[in-house]
Structure 1
Amino acid sequence: MEMVRPAAIEVALAVEDEIAGRIEQAKSMRLKQLERARYEAELARRRYMNVDPANRMVADTLEADWNDRLRRLDALQQEHDRLRQSDQKLLGDEARTRIRALSDDFANIWNDSRVESVERKRILGLLIEDVTLVKSERISIHVRFRGGRTTSLEVDKPKPMALVRKTQPAVVSVIDELLETCTDQEVATRLNELGHTNWQHQAFTARKVALVRTTYRLPSRFERLRSRGLLTGAELAAQLEVSQTTVHQWGRQGLLRRQIYGHDHRCLYEPLGDVVLVRGTGGRKATQPTFITGQATGQGAM
């Protein structure tokens, strides 16, 4: 924005020159098409005039071809006349006035959301003569504008994609800490509450947390609980000599202490130690099973 002001007149003139050059190129192409169409129409006319009138089938075919060439020539001529009038309006005094006004309102044009990227690139092509890049520890950029003015600046090298996609160490540390007490989904929820995002600036999900956990080899919630000695439903069922369904039911009722490690209420159970199971009774005076500390009898659970 700062550099365009002294070069505003040159930019406006360059815009006009480019438009005029493109109009001339389009006009030249249209004239070549017209010339080719006239030649083909004349060739078709000669074929028709030279045919034997007695051979009506060939004469009809050549006449139809001649008429088709004439129609195509007429369509091209009409299109050429229409575009020529449009080009004259484009390079008229009113159009030139609008083009020169662009240099005074360049900032608004450049920042307009309706201007597409390809148009901004064309604007840069009109502003800048050439750019030289010198790569060292940083990248030096030397820009030469049309009209001779130059400027230089330095930027950092682009980071490798492996570093761009790398999760911030602070976020990895938070995930590792949260996994001590939370599932992947709970970790994602907590990260979003803290304002953390992934490398694409997207909110965390359970799947994204699992990906980070796998990439950085963080123990999962399940592995952490197992390392503390927690048991699966099958292991605890075998210890108590009951079914897994009974173990899960007791867990939901709060008779067994459990820790959730995944979705669908997947859980592990805290070990009971040296306890004896006293089964409950049904009927009117139903009682819940209880666990008492003591040595197991030779007959197993009571």
Structure 2
Amino acid sequence: HCGRHMSVSYSGRSKERLACDMTRNQWGEKQCQSFNAKSLSDLAQSLLLQAIAPASIELSLQAFANLDQDRRVIERQHMQSVERAQYESDVAYRRYEEVDPSNRLVAAELERRWEQTLREKKATEETLDRFRSQHQEKLTPSRVSQIEKLSSDIPRLWNAETTTGIDRQTIFRALVECIVVETVGRTEYVHLTIRWSGGFESRHRIMKPVLRFEWLESAPEIRKLIQRRKGEGKTHAEVSAELNREGYHSARCSAFTPVIVSSLIKQFRAEENVKPEERELASWGLRDLAHELGLRKETLNTWRRRGWVHAMKESTRWTFWADEEELKRLRKLVDHNRQGLQKTPTKLTTPIINHPQKNA
């Protein structure tokens, strides 16, 4: 979104996360974007292994051979230019030598032409020298055979325990110049542009887990399908199977299961039972609300303990409650400049609304 570099962080062996935090860290603005990087890592690895697969290696060797042939053609053209310039220089010299010295004007003109051909000859020779100095490594038959043999073992070598992360980075950076990442709002989709060495760009779309079902791009269609099929008396297993056949996915970007369908049905029923005056009340996960406010999760947790924001523990997670009016208050609290030990105004730290279950 902003053109800056994203940073990676790890939580365990398989939980890498990409985040663009520069504007937040330097100027206190909201976080630009962040997402679980596993899907990007898997895609990048798959594309890289395709790029160095035996079939791709064969094409690359053929392309290298074609480039070598083209190089010889260009070199021959440069050599012909040098030969032509040498011939024209020799002709100009003979004409200059044959002129009558007493005819000064003609002699001066022929001398000027001879010097011009000498300069052109020198320029063509320098061009040929520069071209030859651009060394292109030769691929001997033995080296080609070695490359072809290694290419069939690349997936095994790539995943071997002896292959370090630095080894993989070195290979990857030799093939890829950069990856441009753009999350699509709060949906599960991420747009990627991979710029490969040599200038080619490939475009892809991957998915990332989202915290709420409503953020799925296809959430309205999924909801209608579930409610329609349950109205027809279908089982959870039948509904989940149909969702998977239609190509839908859950908020975790996984296939639907009867358990997930059952959970969504409960969620839909709970939403239908909410009183009209309470329907504007929005629930947030810790990470989600922190992202919305541009805060660190630790700061938001501190606010929760102080009672500055309403939250309720559900199972092992905290659910925060904030509608648009409450979000305005929290944003003012974020923007409030606390100097020294001065007390934060009570109107900024007092929640406007209460959790609906607390009012029951």
| TM-score when normalising by structure 1 | 0.38
TM-score, length-scaled by structure 2: 0.33
Higher gyration radius (CA): 1
